[in-house]
Structure 1
Amino acid sequence: MSERRTGKEKSWRLCRKKPQTLDDDSGEDEPRNGNENVTLELKAKLPKTADKSSTYDLVVIGGGSGGLAAAKEAVELGAKVAVLDFVTPSPQGTKWGLGGTCVNVGCIPKKLMHQAALLGEAVHEAVAYGWQLPDPNTVQNDWSALTNAVQSHVKSVNWVTRVELRNKKVEYLNALGYFKDANTVVGVGKNGEEKLLSAKNIIIAVGGRPRYPDIPGALEYGITSDDIFSLDRAPGKTLIVGAGYIGLECAGFLNGLGYDTTILVRSVVLRGFDQQMANIVAEEMEQRGVHFVYQAKPKAIEKQDDGRLLVHWVDRDGALHQDAYDTVLFAIGRRALTQELKPENVGLKLIPDTGKIDALNEQTNIPNIYAVGDVLHKKPELTPVAIHAGRLLARRLFGGSHEKMDYTNVATTVFSPLEYGCVGLSEEDAIALHGDDNIEVYHAYYKPTEFFVPQKNVKHCYVKVVALRKDDQKVIGMHFVGPHAGEVIQGFAAAIKCNLTFRALKSTVGIHPTTAEEFTRISITKRSGLDPTPQSCCS
């Protein structure tokens, strides 16, 4: 299979070949692909940048989803664009290629690990459906094979991303960028060589990196989500510090892969999400064997003579506890990488403590400097948000567009073992904004058809719709815990963007038997006090 390209662009083709290794920061020219038989091979080498200074219409600092989306869109609109991207190794030495957090140490490897855990669960379910298999209790996951497969896919995406930038004529520099002035960015390469890039417009898209607690042993012995997807050994007994979505997702797939997993919860699970739904997710995970230690904070980590990590923590009463683990993973939040930009050189204002940028329509306090993605203050830290905002910003800068990013009613999903998808307001936020008397909460438990034969527990399968009580009852929040939550909530997110009402939702005919149809069947309000548990699959 081949594709011909004209002009100075060389052809590339898919060929049968042993996979190659590519370190995106190394300058090597061969990609690595997870398929042993099919590997993307480039005949042309990527161009090297020789000049010490250049002028552009747009310089993007950060090669993640938002920055790349803005850069590619700007080029399509005729702009001359450069992208700087540099990955500083984690404290454990982990680094990765072009593409940002999502591709390398976020959404993509996380979803693959989640899928691996679900497949292990499916092995046990298959027996109930008549599949003749070896004793499912003897089935084990090979951590090395899993991480190799995941990293092969990630590396192939890194490579394709570089090729796409070259083909679109976006100049890519593997360099750490910082501001010299409002129109000049300094790019520092891995060899220390500097290059000046002048630009009419600059976009900050540097994202963030995981935080570490200020306790003895954290940096020396702990890991984060930067490290777990390429960990060179099986994690074994694991302690996860932090109960946000990253902590829960990592705990979920580690437990599903067969590793003893504990979550240390400082305050509440899934802060910022609907707390009823968050507690349902936590209860379901506990049922699966994930251990939760509530109201606790780590104090120190020591490495024992046997190589294991002795963790000391304190509970809400001040009592000290300790236990030994093979791996300690911190998931206590992320810090924006804005201080590395030398913001003082341009007077860029940052939010104290977080280092984030409070921008209006992505424009910072410096008129020609913009920001997209996770560096923005009080905006959803989600890849699709960064991508969409980056594209719209480029269209406004170079295409004459006036369309602005709408950060409201953005759907998201927590890929816990039983997934949680939501869009709009939580019940708590709806009450705070509109008052308890002005909202109606519809809810229901349900029984997924695919759970019947293997007799899986349906106790935690639950849906909730938050609506205003007046007029046609405009829907302002939808929440779903169950299989394929991300796929379910996506369509309803579009409906909410179109001002969905509860009347319209109830007039929608569901697809049977699916879990998504449960939203169309919901009828019981919390206010009524009636039992929301169904008596049959069709009730």
Structure 2
Amino acid sequence: MAATAVRVKALRGDSGRFRWRTPVVAGGVRGAAQDAAAGRQDYDLLVIGGGSGGLACAKEAAQLGKKVAVVDYVEPSPRGTRWGLGGTCVNVGCIPKKLMHQAALLGGMIRDAPHYGWEVAQQVPHNWRKMAEAVQNYVKSLNWGHRVQLQDRKVKYFNIKASFVNEHMVRGIAKGGKETLLSAEHIVIATGGRPRYPTHIEGALEHGITSDDIFWLKESPGKTLVVGASYVALECAGFLTGLRLDTTVMMRSIPLRGFDQQMSSLVTEYMASQGTQFLRSCTPLRVRKLPDGQLQVTWEDLKSGREDMGTFDTVLWAIGRVPETRGLNLEKVGVNTNPDSQKILVDAREATSVPHIYAIGDAAEGRPELTPTAIMAGRLLAQRLCGQSSDLMDYSNVPTTVFTPLEYGCVGLSEEEAVARHGEEHVEVYHAYYKPLEFTVAERDASQCYIKMVCLREPPQLVLGLHFLGPNAGEVTQGFALGIKCGASYAQVMRTMGIHPTCAEEVAKLRISKRSGLDPTVTGC
């Protein structure tokens, strides 16, 4: 009989936490011997997943006096890319993405510099290898920092691939095949997700890469086809274009699904003006490697039904992500998942269908796939499990930014969502096209620099959503997010003094409504 740990719900206190009794192991002496051979260890809290949410949860619980372990294992991508502790954000997401976005923005500043009197050669070459090495070294420093933080907080770290044995125990397999059994009173699943491959397309797996690989390439990807319309697709295409690489985006349908669609259109318009090429209403059929090493991509134009083809050095798939839940053996313990998305079903307390097993972050159904929400959800969960708080995570009015060449920051409802929820007659949208001062001397096109504030029409006109397209969008949106979180009204925003001259001050000057039909172009201070 397989070794099984039995937790006894004994001596329950007011906090609802359990105290350990000596585990009863099925199988007698043989079962105990198996446990010992596997190096079984017991914990108050076991976190499966070493990304932002899981680490935040583990460190918080440890600081509150619990015995905590984290298990994390990165399955190499089909291309063979692997990385260290820290999850998607640190290794193949937010951090390297923002740094490469910054590298691209610097290229634009170099082009602007002569207008401001700097004698800079216009054909300044970019060295991908040098940039990649600097970015990768910084990421590795973060990997090490997370290891040190866990050690400082006495959190035990296991680099093993975990799956459930029973409701309180997981089996971990190390790279060399060594097995470890870990049991815990509470288990948190924070395994995140990985990029989706279109396995039905010939050559997709063999010849394509994903965001798991692009940030770890030693050499420039060269002429690149980015397939997808997600924020990952547009962000990657944006910085590749900014680094002066020939870049094409192939989109089957609309860009930035789930975001405000007027803003999404402006994002892609600006990208096109900067040199990114778009193949709209197209879907790839196959990818073949030519004798010279280039990739020949054949696609279908969904409007005409005709096939076309082109050659590229790199094909980057950015068609969505799938949660890392399939290998956890969740069905063994009765943790329910959405059969379509494979994400774990959770309630407001982040609890799964098994009361002492929780899920946070990208692996949980209905949660924003954003690092800060996973971190806060993890910390609050740890505080509740330790009896320190009863606060639940509030997933409303979560701000975010898409780091495309012209950044798009937003918080609250899109215009479409506001109309669907409240009715068009009850929604007022204030908007403005503006020109950042930074764009003037360099004579940059500001056609897509745009702000809109979505409000209830009835006074005091509660702000439902804010959408900002322009430089430093994240920095602008972060501040206004507090006001919207606190229930700001349009009248209050209009009484807020702007900081002059900034782009952010334009939010506090939104006087023209869409309903008025007046020209929303800002023409002066």
**Fold shared, TM-score > 0.5 on shorter chain:** yes
Q: 2:56 aligns with which of 59, 69, 74?
A: 69
Contact 1:225 1:329 in 2 (8 A): yes
> Which of 145, 148, 154 is matched with 1:160 structurally?
145
Q: Deviations over 1:408-433 (max 9, x none)?
A: 10000000001000000000000000
Contact 2:40 2:180 in 1 (8 A): yes
- Counterpart in the other structure of 1:264: 250
Q: 1:1-16 maps to which residues of 2 (within 5 A)? A: none
Counterpart amino acid of 2:507?
Answer: F
Indicate the SS of the match to 1:71.
helix
3-state SS of 1:89 partner: coil
How far the C-alpha of 1:291 sits from its partner, in A, is: 0.5
Report the counterpart of residue 184 of structure 1 in structure 2.
169
Tell me which residue corresponds to 1:469. Answer: 457
The percentage of aligned residue pairs carrying the same residue is 57
What does residue 359 of structure 2 align with? 371
Match of 1:197 in 2: 182
For 1:57, which of 32, 37, 44 is the aligned residue?
A: 44
1:399 CA displacement: 3.2
* Counterpart residue type for residue 157 of structure 1: L
**Equivalent-residue separation in structure 2 for 1:142 and 1:500 (angstroms):** 46
Work out the CA distance in 1 between the residues paired with 2:61 and 2:38.
23
Question: Paired residue for 1:88?
Answer: 75
**2:318 aligned with 1:331, yes or no?**
yes
Give CA deviations for 1:345-371 in whole Å, capped at 9, x if unaligned.
101111012110120121000000000
Distance in 1 between the 2:418 and 2:125 partners?
45
- The CA distance in 2 between the partners of 1:56 and 1:471, in whole Å, is 54
Q: Distance in 2 between matches of 1:234 and 1:482?
A: 28
* 2:346 maps to 1:359: yes
Letter in 1 for 2:293: G
What is the SS of the residue equivalent to 1:117? Answer: helix
1:236-315 paired onto structure 2 within 5 Å: 236-315=222-301
Q: Contact 2:38–2:181 at 8 Å: present in 1 too?
A: no
Cα distance per residue 1:72-103 (max 9 Å; x no partner): 00001111000000000000000000000000
Q: Which residue of 1 aligns with 2:193?
A: 208
- State the SS of the aligned residue for 1:410: coil
Aligned letter for 1:495?
Answer: G
- 2:12 paired residue number: none
Deviation, structure 1 residue 140: 1.3
The structure 2 residue matched to 1:422, chosen from 386, 410, 419, is: 410
Structure 1 residues 50 and 416, CA gap change in structure 2 (3 angstroms): farther
5 Å matches for 1:443-462? 443-462=431-450
Counterpart of 1:126, as a letter, is A
The answer on 1:441 being equivalent to 2:426 is no
Equivalent-residue separation in structure 2 for 1:82 and 1:474 (angstroms): 45
| 1:13-35 Cα deviation digits (max 9, x unpaired) | xxxxxxxxxxxxxxxxxxxxxxx
Counterpart of 1:366, as a letter, is: V
Structure 2 counterpart of 1:362, one-letter code: E
The residue identity in structure 2 corresponding to 1:392 is: L
Q: Which residue of 2 aligns with 1:387?
A: 375
Query: Residues 490-509 of structure 1 correspond to what in structure 2 (within 5 A)?
Result: 490-509=478-497
1:77–1:399 contact (8 Å) kept in structure 2 = no
Local SS of the residue matching 2:441: coil
Counterpart in 2 of 1:112? 99
Q: CA deviation at 1:462?
A: 0.3
Kept in 2, the 8 Å contact 1:65–1:100? The answer is yes
Cα shift at 1:187: 1.0
Q: Give unmatched runs, 5+ long, in structure 1.
A: 1-48
Length, aligned pairs only: 487
Query: Within 5 Å, which residues of 2 pair with 1:22-33?
Result: none
Q: Does the CA contact (< 8 Å) of 2:133 and 2:218 recur in 1?
A: no
Unaligned runs of 5+ in 2: 1-35
Structure 2 distance, partners of 1:463, 1:195, is: 54
Identify which range, 392-401 or 435-444, moves more after superposition: 392-401
1:191-230 superposed Cα distances (whole Å, 9 cap, x missing partner): 1111111100000000000001121101100000000001
Deviation, structure 1 residue 50: 9.9
- Residues 151-170 of structure 1 show CA distances to partners (whole Å, capped at 9, x for unaligned) of 00000100011011011100
Q: Work out which of the residue numbers 498, 512, 526 in structure 1 matches 2:514.
A: 526
Give the residue type in structure 1 aligned to 2:140: K
* Corresponding residue for residue 35 of structure 1: none
In 1, are the aligned partners of 2:225 and 2:250 still within 8 Å (CA)? Answer: yes
Distance of 2:444 and 2:37 partners within structure 1: 62
| Secondary structure at the counterpart of residue 96 of structure 1 | coil
Counterpart CA distance in 1 for 2:289 and 2:368 is 37
- Partner Cα separation in structure 2 for residue 295 and residue 50 of structure 1: 57
**Aligned residue in 1 for 2:9:** none
Q: Is residue 48–residue 70 contact of structure 2 (8 Å, CA) maintained in 1?
A: yes
In 2, are the aligned partners of 1:473 and 1:503 still within 8 Å (CA)?
Answer: yes
Partner of 2:160: 175
Give CA deviations for 1:319-349 in whole Å, capped at 9, x if unaligned: 1110000000000000001111011110111
**In 1, Cα distance between the equivalents of 2:523 and 2:151?**
59
Q: SS at the partner of 1:386?
A: helix
1:184 touches 1:196 (CA, 8 Å); kept in 2?
yes
Q: 1:233 Cα shift? A: 1.8
Q: Which amino acid aligns with 1:410?
A: V
Instruction: Give distance in 1, aligned partners of 2:133 and 2:465.
Output: 40
Query: Shift of residue 460 of structure 1?
Result: 0.7
Cα distance between partner residues in 1 of 2:180 and 2:128 = 42
Runs of 4+ in 1 over 3 A off after TM superposition: none
Aligned-partner Cα distance in 2 for 1:432–1:472: 21
**Is the contact between residue 442 and residue 522 of structure 1 (CA under 8 Å) also seen in structure 2?**
yes
> 2 CA distance for matches of 1:56 and 1:297?
49
Offset, 1:51: 7.0
Q: In structure 2, give the amino acid aligned to 1:294.
A: R
Provide the C-alpha distance between the structure 2 equivalents of 1:368 and 1:526, rounded to a whole number of angstroms.
Answer: 50
Matched, 1:484 2:495: no
Q: Under a length normalisation based on structure 2, what TM-score does the superposition of the two structures give? A: 0.92
Separation in 2 of the partners of 1:50 and 1:344? 26
